[in-house]
Amino acid sequence: MRLGDWLDRRTGYRAALHWGLDEPVAGGASFAYVFGSVLAFLLGLQIVTGILLATAYSPSATDAWASVAYIQDQMTLGWFVRGLHAHGASAMVIVAGLHLMQTALYGAYKAPRELNWWIGVAMLGVLLAFALTGYLLPWDQTGYWATKVATGIAGTTPIAGRQIQELAQGGNEYGNPTLTRFFALHVLVLPGTLVALFALHLFLFRRHGVTPHWWLKEDELARRTRPFWPDQMFKDTVAVAAVFAAMVGITVWNGGVSLDAPADPSASFDARPEWYFRPLFQALKYFEGPMEKAVALGLPAVLGGFLIALPLIDRGESRSPRRRWKQLAGLVFIAVLMTALTAVSFREDANDPTVTKGQAVAEAQARRARTLAQMFGVPAEGGTAVYALEPGARAHAIWREHCAGCHQGAKHSAPEIGPGYNSRDWIRAFLLSPSGARFFGPTKIRGMEPVEVKGADLDAVIELVYAQTGASDVDQGKVARGKSVFEAECATCHPMDEKGEGAAPNLGRRGAPETLSSFIARPDHARFFGKANEMPAFFDELDRADRRALADWLVALRGRPWR
Amino acid sequence: MADEPATPPATRRRFLEVATLALGGAVSVVLAVPLVRYVLTPIGRKVVSAPDRPIDVCALSAVPADGKPLQVAVVSDAQRDAWVTRQRVAVGSAWLRRDGDKVVAVSGQCPHLGCAIGFDGQRFRCPCHKSAFKVNGERESGPAKRGLDPLPVDVVNGRVHLRFLRFQPDVAERTEV
């Protein structure tokens, strides 16, 4: 204890501990009083996890999603820290709600504690502002679109709506200043405000003490009074441990918290706000036109106004709930209304196939974006540029622009190309019906008759043609047999020696990437369709790398089933 | 309240104290371990990628024939910087010099503490702590513990390619990092 004495003489920590821990709790310890301590714990947890997230977060429109994906998928336990922070926010909203209900039930808003009630209401507002600003920071689809709705609502404020919106989003549109402003609010302004309010709240709480059970008389209360340590502290710690265990459980169970695909202003997205804004979200569905705006701004104002007015409405001496049932009924009505709206909102979503399908698509998109980000990093152009890194992304873009118009879809005007192209099944179907609707049917090419060989001979020819693509799973025995069948049945028109030109396309290495690439460049070359060709030559439009990328992509189709 | 005990029985009080500290300690540990591991993420990890192939820095003809050193920028085709991938990123500089019919290169980073060195016409000098090096890179004076770090050079089709290596600063032995 020598060190303790040394320290105490210099700091007076024992007196401070005594002040902090031996505060009398009127009427003795109770689980009804734990919510404040749980909130204090959660506040500390949010500060610590928030600082850790800030060490790896980049508040810029091009970097934000990438840095959050990096935290989520690449930093050691980053998913855990981020999950705790997100679920911690939810926990704070829930526990703050319980704290509010408990203090209201005990009449803690009555004189002389009205000021502390109002400070508490202000802190609840700050919590919601935290949630709103934090939701945008990952710059993912959900956060981006949901927050746009929120700032849009702010923009409908009478008189100065547009100015308020521009102030909030840092300009005329969403962009870098939106993120830097939201970030500054979320990590500097709001924490400073909340901690200051918390200190005031605690100071006033210590001044007036806990609001004790209303059903006990003065002398009974005094008889049961105990110091905060250890009785109340034990109950507080049990509650903290229970809430923390629940948060860790939820975090581990969900692998943290979801991160959607990067914000994409060009994609439609069915965004949902954080669950604690669901009541408002749902309420807005029931109103249209001017009423919608009135509800969006009016509902929060009415609820907040009721909470603020409560100490002024209920000024009676008695803290017995029976004598205050009207005021408490108001609170209960609000709570039931919010819960009901939330429940209806989630129920509607769960029963709406458009919504559930949209969610599945969004999840798949998020997985794709995050996998690419993990493999290659996000290009400096921004989050949505990850998709360009996908193998075949360039080829697919070329395909859509230059090829799909004729080769894909119900109205294709050239042989259909899709999954299974140049597979054995495709070759078989073609050989049996070269002028079929899916092959040369839509074109003027009619030179080829259906192949008449059957059975093992047909299989052998198919294998031979298939082998030309460069596939590795070729049966060489069949190929050898196929060659003799080919000589007898096909070679009159089709050369197969790579260079030769004949009445019909040369089939040597047909379907191999370099042949496809040459074909795309010059389908009218005598080695291919020659004068019969109807397809445009892409020699000028696509450079060598693009043609090769497209050819590789076409080759990849071969591995998929032909239907 | 004078006739009632002001404190609970000692054993109960003791139990509550121990249980509170144990429970609080458990929460702290469950929280602290992952948080510390998160903070330690960067240790031993290649967060920023280094160019792994030789980099084309200039034409052979650009290197002065009289043996004077030429400073060139080392620009990597691509760099992975934690969450971002960038194209054409300057990663450092090097000094090229003809040595007989060969071209040799030294890193532009001072082997003392990594400042960018300059050439004053006679010798290489570090502006930060006044280390000086001969034109061939040997240490001459100052706090540097070794000479300038040589970089492997190849001449391919009339272009100078060099491998940009980084070494542990402020040690006599050259160890790649």
Using a CB-CB cut-off of 8 Å, the residues of chain A touching B26 are 241
The CATH number that applies at residue B92 is: 2.102.10.10
Asked if residue A107 is part of any domain, the answer here is yes
Closest B-chain CA to A65 = B83
Contacts of A331 (CB under 8 A, 6+ apart): A101, A104, A310
Q: For residue A330, what are its two tokens?
A: 């108001």
State how far residue A259 is from chain B, nearest Cα, in angstroms.
15
Spatial separation of the C-alpha atoms in residues B95 and B93, rounded to whole Å: 7
Contact A234 B19 (CB under 8 A): yes
Asked if residue B175 is part of any domain, the answer here is no
Contacts of A78 (CB under 8 A, 6+ apart): A56, A70, A71, A72, A256, B38, B41
CA atoms within 13 A on the CB side of A190: 23
Alpha-carbon dihedral sign for residues A62, A68, A71, A73:
negative
Residue A223 touches chain B, beta carbons under 8 Å: yes
Spatial separation of the C-alpha atoms in residues A100 and A491, rounded to whole Å: 88
3-class secondary structure for A497-525?
CCCCCCCCCCCCCCCCHHHHHHHHHCCCC
Q: Which residue from B8, B31, B85 is facing A377, i.e. has the nearest CB? A: B85
Q: Which residue from A48, A63, A226 is facing B83, i.e. has the nearest CB? A: A63
Asked if residue A411 is part of any domain, the answer here is yes
Q: Which residue from A240, A248, A378 is facing B84, i.e. has the nearest CB? A: A378
By the 8 A CB rule, do A500 and A506 touch?
yes
Q: How many domains does chain A have?
A: 2
Same domain flag for A181 and A277:
yes
What are phi and psi for residue A210, nearest 5 degrees?
-70, 150
Q: Which residue from A58, A223, A227 is facing B1, i.e. has the nearest CB? A: A223
Closest A-chain CA to B35 = A81
Using a CB-CB cut-off of 8 Å, the residues of chain B touching A230 are 13, 16-17, 20
Residue B23 touches chain A, beta carbons under 8 Å: yes
User: Which candidate in B13, B33, B38 is best for mutational testing of the A interface (most A CBs within 10 A)?
Assistant: B38
pLDDT of residue B1 exceeding 70: no
B83: amino acid identity, one letter: W
Q: Which residue from B1, B4, B34 is facing A81, i.e. has the nearest CB? A: B34
**Residues A116, A121, A123, A124: what is their CA dihedral angle, to the nearest 10 degrees?**
150
Q: How many domains does chain B have?
A: 2
Task: Please give the DSSP secondary-structure letter assigned to residue A530.
Answer: G
Same domain flag for A255 and A404:
no
Total number of residues shown for chain B = 177
Last residue of one domain, picked from the residues A348, A366, A384: A366
Residue A234 touches chain B, beta carbons under 8 Å: yes
What are phi and psi for residue A443, nearest 5 degrees?
-105, 180
Cβ neighbour number for residue A168 with a 10 Å cutoff: 19
Same domain flag for A345 and A406:
no
**Residue B94 host element (H or E):** strand B84-99
Residue B4 touches chain A, beta carbons under 8 Å: yes
Rg (CA), chain A: 35
pLDDT of residue B109 exceeding 80: yes
Using a CB-CB cut-off of 8 Å, the residues of chain B touching A237 are 19-20, 23-24, 27
Its domain, for residue A37, covers 29-366
Residue A380 touches chain B, beta carbons under 8 Å: yes
What are phi and psi for residue A348, nearest 5 degrees?
-60, -40
Same domain flag for A149 and A220:
yes
Residue A16 touches chain B, beta carbons under 8 Å: no
Spatial separation of the C-alpha atoms in residues A507 and A515, rounded to whole Å: 10
Q: Which residue from B13, B24, B38 is facing A78, i.e. has the nearest CB? A: B38
Using a CB-CB cut-off of 8 Å, the residues of chain A touching B17 are 229-230
Using a CB-CB cut-off of 8 Å, the residues of chain A touching B13 are 230
Asked if residue A215 is part of any domain, the answer here is yes
Residue A31 touches chain B, beta carbons under 8 Å: no
Closest B-chain CA to A376 = B85
Q: Which residue from A55, A227, A237 is facing B24, i.e. has the nearest CB? A: A237
pLDDT tens, residue by residue, B123-156: 999 999 999 999 999 999 999 999 999 999 999 8
Same domain flag for B8 and B90:
no
Spatial separation of the C-alpha atoms in residues A25 and A302, rounded to whole Å: 35
Asked if residue A50 is part of any domain, the answer here is yes
Same domain flag for B80 and B146:
yes
Spatial separation of the C-alpha atoms in residues B162 and B154, rounded to whole Å: 6
Contact A222 B23 (CB under 8 A): no
User: Which candidate in A70, A237, A378 is best for mutational testing of the B interface (most B CBs within 10 A)?
Assistant: A237
Same domain flag for A446 and A318:
no
Spatial separation of the C-alpha atoms in residues A165 and A159, rounded to whole Å: 12
What ipTM does the predicted assembly reach?
0.86
Asked if residue B176 is part of any domain, the answer here is no
pLDDT tens, residue by residue, A313-328: 998 888 999 989 988 9
Same domain flag for A55 and A123:
yes
Interface of B with A in 81-140 (CB under 8 A): 81-87
∠ CA(A177), CA(A178), CA(A180), 5° rounding? 60
Distances (CA, A) of A525 to A368, A399, A507, B30: 40, 21, 13, 71
Asked if residue A422 is part of any domain, the answer here is yes
CA atoms within 13 A on the CB side of A233: 21
Q: Which residue from A66, A74, A233 is facing B84, i.e. has the nearest CB? A: A66
Where residue A465 falls (left for φ over 0; alpha for ψ -120 to 50; beta otherwise) is: alpha
Its domain, for residue B101, covers 55-162
Walk along chain A (563 residues) and give the pLDDT tens digit of each residue.
Answer: 689 999 999 999 999 999 999 999 999 999 999 999 999 999 999 999 999 999 999 999 999 999 999 999 999 999 999 999 999 999 999 999 999 999 999 999 999 999 999 999 999 999 999 999 999 999 999 999 999 999 998 898 888 999 999 999 999 999 999 999 999 999 999 999 999 999 999 999 999 999 999 999 999 999 999 999 999 999 999 999 999 999 999 999 999 999 999 999 988 888 899 999 999 999 988 988 888 888 888 889 999 999 999 999 998 888 999 989 988 999 999 999 999 999 999 999 999 999 999 999 999 999 999 999 998 899 999 999 998 888 788 888 889 889 998 999 888 889 999 999 999 999 999 999 999 999 999 999 988 999 999 899 999 999 999 999 998 899 999 999 999 999 999 998 999 986 788 889 999 999 999 999 999 999 999 999 998 999 999 998 888 888 988 999 999 899 888 88
| Start-to-end C-alpha separation, chain B | 73
Same domain flag for B10 and B66:
no
By the 8 A CB rule, do A21 and A227 touch?
yes
User: Which candidate in A75, A226, A229 is best for mutational testing of the B interface (most B CBs within 10 A)?
Assistant: A75
| Global pTM value | 0.79
